[in-house]
Every structure is written in structure tokens, then in C-alpha cells.
């Protein structure tokens, strides 16, 4: 009898454990007027089923991710294959030489979407960061959060011509990306690498902050730029969104 009860408890516990292990879908869509080559990078565990692919204008692709996945997404632009078959991109390149990044991450400047699923108490943590610079406009939108939950859509959409100081522009008068001040000047004051020196927002990060108040703009930016959402939502990551949807739905 006792054995039967133990077995029942064991089965119930195993069942709830298995039931808790649900994967999620992340939809990546390209609303830019040009092709984007998204990249994925896992910071824990194995790579996703794809680590890089082509998304033409108007296309979308669903990527299934394990329930406790952590990592980031970004977009590459102006990619091409050279005469010897080597693949590279003007922005966001992961230097793998192929469309798949295969465990390599992006080269700055790149706008990053960072996601950490089921991190604490069933909460996901996510953010959009321009700490490593900015190349493409992108937002992340949690899908169908439960009523009463504040699952905020965050992202950064700026006009590089307007918001990137000349000395940080990549590509001169036709900018394709904006470096971070840390990348451009490599000094501890911008890179926040000296613990005894107060790390500062720069002209660059202030410009971005004004237009993208909910994105991380420099390394020691307000920690509230990290958002949470519970109840295992799926997410949609959109390059070149026409608008950033209102905070809560
Ligand atoms: C993910 O997408 C697949 C195929 O579109 C679907 O069968 C599955 O139910 C989805 N999973 C979740 C967690 O939404
Ligand atoms: C082609 O691209 C690859 C990968 O980026 C690079 O290693 C190689 O040197 C390039 N070849 C030529 C001929 O430019
Ligand atoms: C920035 O300015 C250049 C040159 O005037 C123009 O070609 C380009 O389309 C502009 N880019 C944006 C994002 O407005
Ligand atoms: C940045 O500066 C640090 C310390 O001054 C130096 O060790 C490092 O090599 C520099 N990095 C680059 C990319 O120049
Ligand atoms: C850190 O900043 C302090 C104060 O500005 C300065 O005295 C010190 O030399 C800096 N250390 C490094 C490693 O740059």
C-alpha cells in the first residue's frame, strides 16, 4: 500500500516535471525593405536548430527553443558571398564564413535582443540592448500575456542619420550602424570597466535613450531595463517594426 502511494507520488511528481518542460516558439519576422540574416546565440546549453539564416523582406520564421533557453538574437545586414564562397555581412557579422553562425556571436555594433526563459519563479527576462552599438531596428513582443500581467514590448527604432553622432557612424553619410562610445574610444569611462570611476551616459547613449527609453543604452544603465513576463509566453522578434506596440496589452 505504502509502495503504491510512493509510486503514485513519484508519477505525479514526474508528470508535473515533464509537464513543466514545454518548449517555446520565437517568431522572427522581417518588416525591413531589405533582407536581414538573423543570428542566434545560446549562452547556456546547445545551439538552437538554426544559428543563422536568411529572412527576405516580409518573411517570418518560427524557431522552437527549449523551456530554459538563454541567449540572444540579432540581425545581420548587407550580407554577401564572395568568390571563394565565404559569407560575410557589413553589420552584425559573426565571422563564421557561413550563413549559420555555429556558436559564434555578433561583431559590434549590433542591436541585441537578449532572452532568458524561465529564469526565476517561472519568469522570463528579456531586453533589447544597444550597449554593443546599433545596426537594425528591432522589437520583442511577448504573445498573449495573461490578463493583468504587464508584459512589455521593448525595442529600439532610431534614425541613424539623426541619432548617431558623426564619430560613431559606420558608413559615413549613408550610415549602416552606430558604434557604442566604448567601441569607438575604448576607454574605461565609456566601457564601464573601472570600478572606481563613475560610468557615464554619453552623448551617444543619451540620444538613444531619448528615442528608445526602454532599451539598455550603456553598460551600467538602469537595471529596470530588464523586463519580465510569466506564464510561458511565446515571443515575436520584429526587425524594422512600423511602431513599438504600447507597453501593456
Ligand atoms: C510552436 O509551433 C508549432 C508549429 O507551428 C506548434 O505545433 C506548437 O504548438 C507551438 N508551440 C508553442 C509552445 O506555441
Ligand atoms: C571570402 O570570405 C571568407 C570568409 O569571410 C574569407 O576568409 C576569404 O578571405 C574571402 N575570400 C576572398 C577572395 O575575398
Ligand atoms: C540617411 O541619409 C542618407 C543621405 O542623405 C540617405 O541616403 C539615407 O536614406 C538616410 N537614412 C535614413 C535611415 O534616413
Ligand atoms: C582597449 O583598451 C584596453 C586597455 O587600455 C586594451 O588592453 C585593449 O587591447 C583595447 N582594446 C582594443 C580593441 O583596442
Ligand atoms: C580608474 O579611475 C580612477 C579615477 O578616475 C583612476 O585614478 C585610475 O587610474 C583608473 N584605473 C584604471 C585601471 O584605469
CATH of the domain at 215: 2.60.110.10
Instruction: Give domain status of residue 248, yes or no.
Output: no
For residue 203, is it left (φ>0), alpha (ψ between -120 and 50) or beta? alpha
Determine the pLDDT at residue 223: 62
Ligand 2: residues with CB < 6 A are 82-84, 86, 88, 97
Instruction: Give domain status of residue 177, yes or no.
Output: yes
Mean pLDDT by 10 residues, the chain (249 residues): 45 42 90 98 91 98 94 98 97 98 96 94 91 94 74 90 90 92 87 78 78 77 75 93 63
Instruction: Give domain status of residue 53, yes or no.
Output: yes
Q: How far is the CA of 108 from the centre of ligand 4 (A)?
A: 15
Whether the CB-CB separation of 135 and 169 falls below 8 Å is answered with no
Determine the pLDDT at residue 149: 63
Instruction: Give domain status of residue 17, yes or no.
Output: no
Instruction: Give domain status of residue 249, yes or no.
Output: no
pTM of the model: 0.85
Determine the pLDDT at residue 202: 74
Domain that holds residue 201: 24-239
Angle at 101 between CA 96 and CA 107, to 5 degrees: 70
Instruction: Give domain status of residue 14, yes or no.
Output: no
Q: Going by CA atoms, what residue is nearest to atom 4 of ligand 5?
A: 197
Q: Which helix (H) or strand (E) holds 116?
A: strand 112-120
**What's the domain count of the chain?**
1
Q: Which ligand gives the minimal distance to the CA of 184? A: 4
Q: How far is the CA of 51 from the centre of ligand 5 (A)?
A: 39
Determine the pLDDT at residue 38: 98
Q: Is residue 21 lining ligand 1, measured as CB closer than 6 Å?
A: no
- Taking the alpha carbons of 122, 125, 126, 132 in that order, is the dihedral positive or negative? negative
Amino acid at each position: 500500500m505504502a509502495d503504491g502511494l510512493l509510486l503514485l507520488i513519484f508519477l505525479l511528481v514526474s508528470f508535473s516535471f515533464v509537464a513543466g518542460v514545454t518548449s517555446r516558439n520565437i517568431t522572427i519576422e522581417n518588416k525591413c525593405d531589405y533582407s536581414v540574416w538573423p543570428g542566434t546565440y545560446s549562452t547556456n546549453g546547445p545551439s538552437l536548430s538554426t544559428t543563422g539564416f536568411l529572412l527576405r523582406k516580409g518573411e517570418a520564421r518560427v524557431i522552437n527553443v527549449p523551456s530554459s533557453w538563454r541567449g540572444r538574437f540579432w540581425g545581420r545586414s548587407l550580407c554577401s558571398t564572395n568568390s571563394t564562397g565565404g559569407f560575410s555581412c557589413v553589420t552584425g557579422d559573426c565571422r563564421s564564413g557561413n550563413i549559420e553562425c555555429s556558436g559564434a556571436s555578433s561583431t559590434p555594433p549590433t542591436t541585441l535582443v537578449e532572452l532568458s526563459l524561465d529564469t526565476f519563479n517561472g519568469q522570463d527576462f528579456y531586453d533589447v540592448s544597444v550597449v554593443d552599438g546599433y545596426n537594425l531596428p528591432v522589437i520583442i513582443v511577448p504573445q498573449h500575456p495573461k490578463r493583468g500581467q504587464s508584459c512589455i514590448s521593448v525595442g529600439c527604432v532610431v534614425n541613424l542619420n539623426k541619432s548617431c553622432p558623426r564619430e560613431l557612424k559606420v558608413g559615413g553619410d549613408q550610415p549602416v550602424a552606430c558604434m557604442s562610445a566604448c567601441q569607438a574610444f575604448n576607454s574605461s569611462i565609456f566601457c564601464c570597466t573601472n570600478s572606481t570611476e563613475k560610468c557615464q551616459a554619453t552623448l551617444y547613449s543619451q540620444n538613444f535613450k531619448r528615442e528608445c527609453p526602454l532599451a539598455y543604452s550603456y553598460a551600467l544603465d538602469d537595471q529596470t531595463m530588464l523586463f519580465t513576463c510569466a506564464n510561458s509566453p511565446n515571443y515575436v522578434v520584429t526587425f524594422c517594426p512600423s511602431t513599438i506596440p504600447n507597453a501593456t496589452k
